Every structure is written in structure tokens, then in C-alpha cells.
């Protein structure tokens, strides 16, 4: 298991405590071309969102005897699926471990940012009870645009409906669940034009790369709030920084960042920040960032470990699994 943290070990050990446990070797190292040798002799590797599963790494895995890749996450944009198929390997994932965790974190980010809780927390601790700069806005009556209306998008819509917001949405497929929640499908351009808040919940694909770029921002309302708990590269960060500087974008809350690979999940507090774009984002009082923690609840970690162990057991028993990613 690559990119393993103490919490992964804790949850996986608990779920692996059966009569016939799998032998798991926990590695802190990220899976890359350099570390791939650590998997030698392992029938399966378990990887996470920022592990590199490009052709060279998969080639290395195959050479070391690995047959299965078990992603302990839903997304697989970091995997070269063509190479997986070509090398005759199989790949499984955890399609949904807790969409509620991600949806709730999305609202937590918005409420924190809008009501300036992150700033108020520090002020009050220092005995500063001034309210200057802490003005927020009511959510009731606002229009929220949701891009990607799958499991998480629908739950986010439900939460926003609870706050009295109008929900408009766009997706390549219409979801009946979204309609039953009162979500109204519109074109992406109309969504950009009408939304006070835009929340991203579609996967990172070639077609969604930099979905929020200079042109898209130009179509948005002045004063828009953008939320991204999906994948960093849905947003062109440089274009968003420009939008924040001009005030076209009033608030930005993100749990994901396009270059997070070199930053997130590690304590880098004693290092000199090398990413100037990220460093610029940190300077805005109206930008709130968490380090890919939207999924991070006890419910989700239990489910991730349970489903991943189940996937491996299934693969071992019959060489196939219901959570296989289609390579066709």
C-alpha cells in the first residue's frame, strides 16, 4: 500500500482482521517510477489520489509480478487505463465511500468563508472583537449552480435547498434524483451567467480540464463564489487569481488544487514554499483552502478500508470484481 499514513494503517488493519487476512505492506512512499520496486512480488498494489500510475510505473508493476491495482478512492484520473489494459492488469476502486462527507465539507467551506469564521476564530482568540471585514451574505434566495450532478452533486443540492437556495445544474446526463430535489438543468453558459455560487462536482476528464478558465469567468456574475471539492485541474488557477484580483470572483473555497501532488498530505511547514501560484492564493483573505480532506471522516475511512479489502478478496477468489474500472 503506497502513500500510506498512520490512519490508513489503523483502518485497514481493523478491516483486514479476518480468518484469512491479506498480507499488507504499508509504505509511506508515494507510488512513482522511483518507488515502484517496493511493490516487487506483490500480487496487488493499493494506491491513492496522488500516486502516479502512468505507463512507466505500470510497466514496473507488471515486471514485478503485480496483477491488480486497488485504488482506495473513487477518482482514477491519475491512472493510464490504456496501459492497464495493455499489460493485462485489472483495476478496482471504491466508487462511493461517503458522498455525504464530501457534500458536507463543501458546505462547511462555504459557510466558513462566507461568514469569515476562519478570520473571526483568530481575532477572538487574540481579544479582537472588531467586526470590520467580517460581513457575509444570506444564502436564502441565492442561486447555486452545480456542475456534475452525480452522487455528491445531488447531496450538495439537497443541502443548499435546505438553506432556501435555488439550484440550477449542468451535466452530460440528467439525473432524476436532482430533478426531484428541485434542481433545474440549464446549459453551462446559463449556469455561469445566473449563479451566485458555483460548486464543482464533475470528474476530471479531458473535456473538464480547466472548465473554469478566463472565458468561463468572463461569463459569470461579478461577485461570484466558486467552490471546488472535486479535482484541482477543473480550475485554471492563474485565471482564477486574476478574477480574484479584479473582484470578479468574490470568494473561492477549494479542497483540491491542480498541483496538489507536490504539496498535500505532507507536513511542509518547515519548507520554503516553491509553488508561487499556491503561495499567491494563500495571501487572499477571501480564499479558503483545505488540503484534500473533504473525504476525511470516520465513516468514509471505514468504508474505504472495507470496500478495498472486499475488492481484493473478490479478485483473489474469482479474478473479477464488481468494482472493476471498465477498460473497454
d(CA 65, CA 86) in angstroms, rounded, equals 15
Q: Does 195 bind ligand NAD (CB under 6 A)?
A: no
- Window 76-115: contact mask with ligand NAD (x via CB under 6 A): --------------------x--x--x-------------
Q: Does 129 bind ligand NAD (CB under 6 A)?
A: no
Q: Does 145 bind ligand NAD (CB under 6 A)?
A: no
Q: Does 203 bind ligand NAD (CB under 6 A)?
A: yes
Q: Which is nearer to ligand NAD, 65 or 95 (CB)?
A: 95
Q: Does 246 bind ligand NAD (CB under 6 A)?
A: no
The set of cell numbers assigned to 216 is 468561463
Which ranges constitute the DSSP H helices of the chain? 6-15, 55-63, 81-86, 99-114, 117-125, 151-162, 176-180, 188-194, 214-219, 237-246, 276-282, 298-318
Kindly state the number of chain residues that form the binding site for ligand NAD, as judged by CB under 6 A. Answer: 30
Q: Is 260 a catalytic residue?
A: yes
Cross-sheet strand order for the sheet of 249-254: 184-185, 166-170, 143-147, 197-200, 224-228, 249-254, 287-289
Q: Is 215 a catalytic residue?
A: no
Q: Is 86 a catalytic residue?
A: no
d(CA 305, CA 73) in angstroms, rounded, equals 10
Cα–chain-centroid distance for residue 173?
A: 21
Which residue in 229, 251, 308, 311 binds ligand NAD (CB under 6 A)? 229
Q: How far is the CB of 103 from ligand NAD (least distance, A)?
A: 9
- Window 19-48: contact mask with ligand NAD (x via CB under 6 A): ------------------------------
Dmax over CA atoms of the chain, in Å, equals 64
Amino acid at each position: 500500500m503506497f502513500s500510506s499514513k498512520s490512519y490508513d494503517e489503523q483502518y485497514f488493519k481493523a478491516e483486514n482482521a479476518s480468518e484469512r487476512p491479506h498480507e499488507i505492506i504499508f509504505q509511506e512512499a508515494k507510488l512513482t517510477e522511483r518507488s515502484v520496486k517496493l511493490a516487487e512480488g506483490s500480487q496487488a498494489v493499493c494506491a491513492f489520489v496522488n500516486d502516479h500510475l502512468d505507463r512507466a510505473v505500470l510497466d514496473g508493476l507488471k515486471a514485478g509480478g503485480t496483477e491488480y491495482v486497488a485504488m482506495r478512492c473513487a477518482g482514477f484520473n491519475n491512472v493510464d487505463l490504456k496501459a492497464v489494459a495493455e499489460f493485462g492488469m485489472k483495476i478496482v476502486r471504491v466508487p462511493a465511500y461517503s458522498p455525504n462527507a464530501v457534500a458536507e465539507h463543501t458546505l462547511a467551506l462555504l459557510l466558513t468563508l462566507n461568514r469569515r469564521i476562519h478570520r473571526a476564530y483568530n481575532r477572538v482568540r487574540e481579544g479582537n472583537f472588531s467586526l470590520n471585514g467580517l460581513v457575509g451574505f444570506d444564502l436564502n434566495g441565492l442561486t447555486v449552480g452545480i456542475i456534475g450532478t452525480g452522487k455528491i452533486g445531488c447531496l450538495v443540492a439537497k443541502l443548499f435547498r435546505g438553506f432556501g437556495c435555488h439550484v440550477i445544474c449542468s451535466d452530460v446526463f440528467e439525473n432524476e434524483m436532482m430533478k426531484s430535489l428541485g434542481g433545474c438543468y440549464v446549459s453551462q453558459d446559463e449556469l455561469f451567467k445566473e449563479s451566485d455560487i458555483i460548486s464543482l462536482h464533475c470528474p476530471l476528464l479531458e473535456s473538464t480540464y480547466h472548465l473554469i478558465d478566463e472565458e468561463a469567468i468572463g461569463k459569470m456574475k461579478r461577485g461570484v463564489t466558486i467552490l471546488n471539492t472535486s479535482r484541482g485541474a477543473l480550475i485554471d488557477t492563474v485565471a482564477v487569481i486574476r478574477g480574484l484580483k479584479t473582484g470578479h470572483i468574490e470568494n473561492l473555497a477549494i479542497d483540491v488544487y491542480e498541483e496538489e501532488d507536490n504539496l498535500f498530505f505532507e507536513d511542509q511547514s518547515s519548507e520554503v514554499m516553491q509553488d508561487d501560484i499556491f503561495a499567491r492564493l494563500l495571501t487572499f483573505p477571501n480564499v479558503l483552502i483545505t488540503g484534500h480532506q473533504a473525504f476525511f471522516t470516520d465513516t468514509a475511512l471505514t468504508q474505504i478500508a472495507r470496500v478495498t479489502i472486499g475488492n481484493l478478496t473478490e479478485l483473489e477468489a474469482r479474478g473479477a470484481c464488481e468494482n472493476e474500472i471498465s477498460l473497454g
